[in-house]
Amino acid sequence: MAIDMHTEHRSHSSVPAPQQQQQPGISTSHAAASPPAAAAAAAAIGDPIDGRYQRIAKIGVGTYGDVYRGVDNLTGETVAVKCLKGFDDDPDGFDLDCELAAEVEALEACRGHPNIVQLIDHGRHRHDDLDNATTTEPPPEAYIVMEFVGPSLHFAVKRHGRYDEGDTRRLTRQLLAGVRWMHELGLMHRDLKPGNVLVDGIGRGGGDASLKICDLGLARDMFDDYKTDPPMPYSNPIGAVIYAAPEVLLGSTAYDQRIDTWAVGCIMAYLLKGEHLFYAMSDKEVLEKIVDVLGMDDITGWSRYWDYMIPKSLIKSGRPRRGNRLREMFAFPCTGGGLPELSEEGFEVLSGLLRCNPEKRMTAAEALQHRWFVGL
């Protein structure tokens, strides 16, 4: 469920998350159930999926499918419907059944966790309404029905601006809780970014907003490593380039779950700053941005650093001689200056998540034990 930025599309199987068209604050837990007939009449799009789920409005567009706000005609509940389309001659080898099975399996494994979007239903869509005279059969379509939560963090920040430290702390804790759960199950998300994190409400002031991770289409079972000898490599490139960890940008296919905690650090910075920390158009440019902010010392300490081709621009430029200047981007509380405020405790979490050396990067479990989250 990618956000609407072309620099973030690095995989073929990711489908956009609910974006600007969403109505903030709507969720299945708070929205009143509307009569099925009335809901279906509200500018419905196309035929009901298997007679039950009526698509009302498109809220996301992707290469292989779309996401809709819909209604369950049986219960009247508002739902999110992700529709995947397959093509027999797809040049990228997109397999509809495999993609559906992989995402459903990940959602099933995460069922019940409050910070991961919940699966309601899934299946293959039958086009029963086709005219007998139709000569061209539409491409096969699969669907995944999930709870409808609300806007993405990308939408919330774009519309309402950056978050203060208190709200960022509450949201980051929920995000880490969902990530930790996935990692304990042996799953990497591999595509964490603001567009794949939804909030029920904007999440400011009261701290009562519910945050949920969505789009598990690129999730990978880490336990698969032990099923082959040698272990099968992971995909690369994967996910959003501006939220990709340095080891992914350098081409590693032997990364681990700490690529997700790097992304959590980037999302935390995005909430505080109101803009992407490492915004650029290519892998090489993102690496240059990372080195410009965090320096070279940490990444060169990684045991596998020299296994990869390092862009000459990083070695020859003056950037490697610069130290880490992440702290300079955030002001201590009550010091003014217009920079986003972040306490020393909060900065310890941020800098721990944004370690270029994955061997020294905080895990989700370690981050949640930090004193910054005490009292939540």
Q: DSSP assignment, residue 327?
A: G
Q: Confirm or deny that 82 is annotated as ligand binding.
A: yes
Residue 148: CB atoms within 10 A of its CB come to 28
Token output for 70: 């819909």
Q: Which of 66, 72, 167, 191 is catalytic?
A: 191
Contacts of 228 (CB under 8 A, 6+ apart): none
Helix (H, G, I), strand (E, B) or coil at 245: coil
Q: Is 191 a catalytic residue?
A: yes
Contacts of 251 (CB under 8 A, 6+ apart): 236, 308, 309
Region of 29 (left: φ > 0; alpha: ψ -120 to 50; beta: rest) is alpha
Task: Give the alpha-carbon dihedral of 28, 202, 220, 5, to 10 degrees.
Answer: 120
In DSSP terms, 144 is beta-bridged to 82, 122
Helix (H, G, I), strand (E, B) or coil at 78: strand
Region of 46 (left: φ > 0; alpha: ψ -120 to 50; beta: rest) is left
Measure the CA–CA gap between 197 and 206, rounded to whole angstroms.
19
Hey, which residues are catalytic here?
191
